[in-house]
Structure 1
Amino acid sequence: MITIANIIRETGLKRSIIFFIFAVAITIIATVITYIINPDIKEITEGIGNKLPDQVKESEGIKKVWSFVVNNGFRVPLQMFILALIPIQFLYLLNIISTVALPGILFGIALQVNSIKGLGIIIATIPHYAFEVFAFCLFASVLFELNQVVRVKIRNVFKADEVGTSLIKKVLETIKIYAILILPLIIMAAFSETYIADIIFGLFE
C-alpha cells in the first residue's frame, strides 16, 4: 500500500533536509554578497527578468499559477531527471542552485533599495520558497538514488556478474514519488507565490 510515510522514507528525508539547508545557505550567501558589493541594480533586475519565461511574466491569477506549475513542476524536474541519468554525482543539484541563488540576489537588491520593503519581500517569499525548494530537494534526494543505480549499471558493463537494482524499476519509483509528493508541493508553491505572497507583502506597504 502506497502511503505518504512510505514515500517520504523512500526519498530519504534526512538527505532532503541536508539539501534544503544547503539551498537556504546559498540564498543567504547570495543575499549578503549582493548587498555588500552593491551591483548595478537596473542591469541585474533586467537580466533576471529576461530569464523568466514570458508566460510567467505576462500571466495573472490562475493562469499565472499554471505557468509556474508548467515551469517549476514539469520543466525543472525534467531537467533534473535528465541530469540524474548522467553518471556524474550531484549534477541534478545545478537546477536547485540556480533556483535559490536568484532570490538571494533579488533580496540583496531589495534591501539596498528599501530595507523595510526588502524585508517584506523576503518574508512574503518564505511560504512559496519553502514549498518549492523543499519539493526540489525531495526530488533531488530521489534522484540521488536513481543516479546511484545509473552509476552501478555503468560499472557493471565492465564486470562479469551484474549486481544492483533494476534501472527501469528505479525510474518508475522516481516517477511515482514525483507524481504523488513532489508535484503537489510545487502546485501549493505556485498558489502561494501567486496569491499569498502579495497579501503578506501588502502588510509592509
Structure 2
Amino acid sequence: MDEVATILKIINKTIFKRAVTFFVCAAIITVLATVITYIVNPDLKGVMKSLGDNSSNQLKESTGIKKIWAYVVNNGFMVPLQMVVLTLIPIQFLYLINVISTAILPGILFGVVLQVDYKKGIEIIASSIPHYFVEIFAFCLFAAVLFELNRVIRGKIRSVFKKDKDGISLVKKTLGTIKIYMVLILPMIIVAAFLETYIADIIFSLFH
C-alpha cells in the first residue's frame, strides 16, 4: 500500500492531465484514421496484408493464455522499451511516436471493416472499446511520465553549457519512472491483454 501511495504521489495532477490530453489526441487520431480509410476506400487486400505484417507472427498465431503472453511481451515490454529509448533523445515528444502509431492502426482496421460490412464493423468497434481505452491510456500515461524524464534529460544537457546546475536528480526521476511502469503501466497492459483476448469476444457475441 505504501508503494502504491508513493506512485500516486509521483503521478500528480499535472501528469494525469497531460495523460488525458494525450489520450484525447490519440482518440481523435483513431477517429480520423477510421474516417479517412472509410472515405478513401483503399485496396482492402493490401491494407489487411500491411496490418498483418505489422503484427508479430506469435501474436497472430496464439490463442488464450499464449496470446495474452505474446500481447504482454509486445505491448508491455517492447513498446515501452522503444518509448524509453526515444525519451533518451533530447527532443521533446519523440516518445509519442508509438502512441500515434498504436492509435492509427485500429483506426485503419475500423475503416476497413466498416467498408466490408457496416453493421459488423460497428459491432467490432464496440467490442474493441474497453481494450482500446485501457491500452491507449496506459501508453498515454507512460508518455506523460516520460515527458517529465525527458525534460530532466534536456535540463541536464543544457546545464552542461551553463553555470547554474539543474538540481533535479536524473537517477531519482528514472527510478520513479521504473516504479510507475512496474506498479501501474504493466498491470494495465496485462488487463488490456485479457480484455482483447476474452472480453472483446464476449461483447461481440452479445450482438448475435
Out of 95, 99, 103, the position equivalent to 1:100 is 103
TM-score w.r.t. the length of structure 2 is 0.95
CA contact (8 A) 1:90 1:144 kept: yes
Structure 1: gaps (5+ residues) = none
Q: Distance in 1 between matches of 2:156 and 2:10?
A: 24
Please show how residues 108-187 of structure 1 align to structure 2 within 5 Å: 108-187=111-190
CA contact (8 A) 2:10 2:176 kept: no
1:26-76 CA deviation, whole Å, 9 max, x = no partner?
Answer: 000000000000000010001110110111011110000000000000000
Task: Read off the aligned partner of 1:36 and give its amino acid letter.
Answer: I
Show the counterpart of 2:86.
Answer: 83
- RMSD (Å), alpha carbons: 1.2
Once structures 1 and 2 are overlaid, which stretch shifts more, 8-17 or 147-156? 8-17
1:166-205 CA deviation, whole Å, 9 max, x = no partner?
Answer: 1111111100000001000000000000001111112334
Q: Distance in 2 between matches of 1:24 and 1:79?
A: 21
SS in 2 for 1:169: helix
Task: Read off the aligned partner of 2:127 and give its amino acid letter.
Answer: A
Q: Residue 200 in 1 paired to residue 203 in 2?
A: yes
Show the counterpart of 1:70.
Answer: 73
CA contact (8 A) 1:11 1:142 kept: no
1:59-97 CA deviation, whole Å, 9 max, x = no partner?
Answer: 110000000000000000000011011000000000000
Show the counterpart of 1:6.
Answer: 9
SS in 1 for 2:42: coil
